[in-house]
Structure 1
Amino acid sequence: MFRYFLGYTYFILFLLFSTSCASKKPFAETNKVYEKQVDSLSEVIKQPLPAPQLMAAEEIPIPDIEGKRKDLEWVGTVNFNMRKPNFVIIHHTAQDSIQQTLNTFTLSRTQVSAHYVIDKKGKVYQLLNDYLRAWHAGNSRWGSVTDLNSVSLGIEMDNNGIEPYTDAQIENLLGLLDTLKTTYNIPTENFIGHGDIAPGRKVDPGINFPWKRLAEKGFGLWYDDTLQTAPTSFNPLDGLRILGYDTRNPPEAIKAFKRHYIQTEVTDEWNPFALDVLYNLYLKKTAL
């Protein structure tokens, strides 16, 4: 009888342990790492700043733990807050599944991340606080901005780069974009793609992404149905620069523009329709 009772007790303990393991969230450990890193960042803010070396012979007082310089009179302003994102950059994951993407973003050796990921069923995952700097834009440029990571939110769409996007994905993306635009007052023209900011290096979110549908909801620029013919004096490279494209490699800049706005034909050659579209967008941008 005792042997039976002991065996039964072990069985119950085994079930409890198994249930506990099964109910544990798959990213519980990496969530702890995230929280630890956020805590460490808050500690960095409290640390004294290094003294700027204006002149070798000049000794500059080091700010104290609250960032105050001891050689200056401190009058704390009451008007401030955290810096906010001003761009949204949309990507595709170029991976085979949402699980693969989440694993990629929770491995320190990959050195890549984003703020949000949306899977094919439309489920939205948040990976990072909006005020923190994700590593999603890489070596990129848009207008005069050369560090997009510091001023943008990165959204990854679960898509291998070839397949169409699902309606559920786009519907929930629109809902997320509406929240972000309202919360941070992000300008309409600042919703762009990874391929826009990194011509020749990146192509996402690809030719299947419905940029027109987003623009109709106020997220990004799009051209009018009726186009004015671009004048012969119009320089398309100037038009691309005004929009924000990096034109140091003109053929790649042209293809990046076409991938976003033309989509049916992505070459580095201008045709009348593409020129008219660019001219229309150029007029919209200069009117802002």
Structure 2
Amino acid sequence: MKNRLILLLLTVTIFSACSKKVLSPYAATNKIYSEHADSLSQALLAESPAMLSDSLGKPIPSEWVGTVNFNLRKPNYVIIHYTAQDSTGQTLRTFTLVKPQVSAHYVIGKDGKVVHMLNDYMRAWHAGISKWGSISDMNSCSIGIELDNKGNEPFSTAQMNSLLTLLAKLKKDYNIPTANFIGHGDIAPGRKPDPGILFPWELLAKKGFGYYSDIIIVPAPVNFDSATALRLIGYDTRNLPAAIGAFKRHFVQREDSTRLTQFDLDVLFNVYQKY
């Protein structure tokens, strides 16, 4: 009996030790996520009338009547980034600290592992100060995907395979238009370069995620207005050299510069007609 009791105690001890080992290192931040999500859900469930008053301070009559026609706001853009950090683990740590004030919906490692960090319907803090077309708050309408890459290295095959699979799911789930798969550098020219000149945009375009220039390019006309073309694509042209640089990193990918060559103009003429 005594031996059985000792064996039982040893089993419990070993089980407890193993349980501690498999405990997620992000258990604490996952708990914070759940608590924050719960508080947001309470805000969504609030059924309060608008409390308004006129210029004299007199209450304006109001009441709550719930409509039966509604759903969640859905993302309409996907913004692709590189992490510019040493590892997926370092990025996960950054995104689970309060001080950096940055986040993303997904992080994809070099090995192809996909880490989902935020519900797709929630607003991540990945775009920062940015603009695309008439949209100046990209965080509110987009999904942010971070790729484990420093920006000066090729993207691994496993990573790209996972990205393409994820993009296919997002495009189907939210009916995201082909043109709306873009990079951080596109929406923040002059401030951010990612996913960089090495990112395989042509591959994505072949799969239906964003546009790219055709192999056979019709030369741009002599009077071609490059600034207007960039603006019509979506670029913020208030800093025209920065917009040119962002365009070239995405659609030309030969050199990282802010000067338009004749070849660049031809590519721009080809691309802008797709938008």
Question: Would you call these one fold, judging by a TM-score over 0.5?
Answer: yes
CA drift at 1:14: 4.4
Partner SS, residue 110 of structure 1? coil
CA distance in 2, matches of 1:17, 1:24: 11
1:16 paired residue number: 15
- Aligned partners of 1:129, 1:104: CA distance in 2, in Å? 18
SS of the residue 2:274 aligns to: helix
2:267 is aligned to 277
Distance (Å, rounded) in 1 between the aligned partners of 2:8 and 2:212:
67
Alignment-mate amino acid for residue 19 of structure 1: C
Aligned-residue offset at 1:29: 1.7
2: CA distance between counterparts of 1:278 and 1:52? 51
User: In the superposition, relative to structure 1, how do residues 215 and 22 fare at CA in structure 2: closer, same or farther (>3 Å)?
Assistant: same
- What is the CA-CA distance between 1:17 and the residue it aligns to? 3.1
Deviation string 1:162-197 (CA, Å, 9 cap, x unpaired) is 111001111110110000001100010000000000
**Structure-1 residue corresponding to 2:69:** 79
With normalisation by structure 2, the TM-score equals 0.93
Instruction: Give the drift of 1:11.
Output: 5.7
2:78 to 88, 91, 94: 88
Specify the SS of the correspondent of 2:119.
Answer: coil
Stretches of structure 2 that go unaligned for 5 or more consecutive residues are: none
Question: What letter matches 2:138 in structure 1?
Answer: L
Q: Distance in 2 between matches of 1:158 and 1:81?
A: 33
In the alignment, which of 167, 183, 186 is matched to residue 193 of structure 1?
183
Q: What is the match of residue 25 of structure 2?
A: 26
Secondary structure, in 3 states, of the residue corresponding to 1:170?
helix
User: Aligned ranges for residues 230-241 of structure 1 at < 5 Å?
Assistant: 230-241=220-231
The structure-2 alpha-carbon separation of the partners of 1:145 and 1:61, relative to structure 1 and needing over 3 Å to count, comes to same
Cα distance change on mapping 1:268 and 1:28 into 2, 3 Å: same
Percent identity reads 53
Match of 1:150 among 115, 135, 140: 140
The Cα shift of 1:56 comes to: 2.3
Instruction: Give 2:51's aligned residue.
Output: 51
Q: Take 1:185 and 1:60, find their aligned partners in 2: how far apart are those partners?
A: 43
Structure 1 position 50, deviation (Å):
5.8
Aligned equivalents of 2:69, 2:197: Cα separation in 1: 44
Q: How does 1:1-288 map to 2 (within 5 A)?
A: 14-47=13-46, 48=48, 51=51, 55-57=54-56, 59-61=58-60, 69-70=62-63, 74=65, 76-285=66-275
Q: CA deviation at 1:215?
A: 0.3
Q: Deviations over 1:184-213 (max 9, x none)?
A: 000100000000000111000011100000
- Secondary structure of 1:89's counterpart equals strand
In the TM superposition, what whole-angstrom CA distance separates every residue of 1:237-257 from its partner, at most 9, and x where no partner exists?
A: 100000000011111110000
Give the CA deviation at 1:10: 7.1
Q: Which amino acid aligns with 1:234?
A: F
C-alpha separation in 1, matches of 2:52 and 2:236: 33
CA distance in 2, matches of 1:52, 1:202: 42
Q: Which range is displaced more, 220-229 or 148-157?
A: 220-229
Number of residue equivalences: 274
What is the alpha-carbon distance in structure 2 between the residues aligned to residue 203 and residue 268 of structure 1?
A: 12
Distance 1:275 1:36, change over 3 A: same
Shift in alpha-carbon separation, 1:14–1:253, aligned structure 2, 3 A: same
Cα shift at 1:49: 6.5
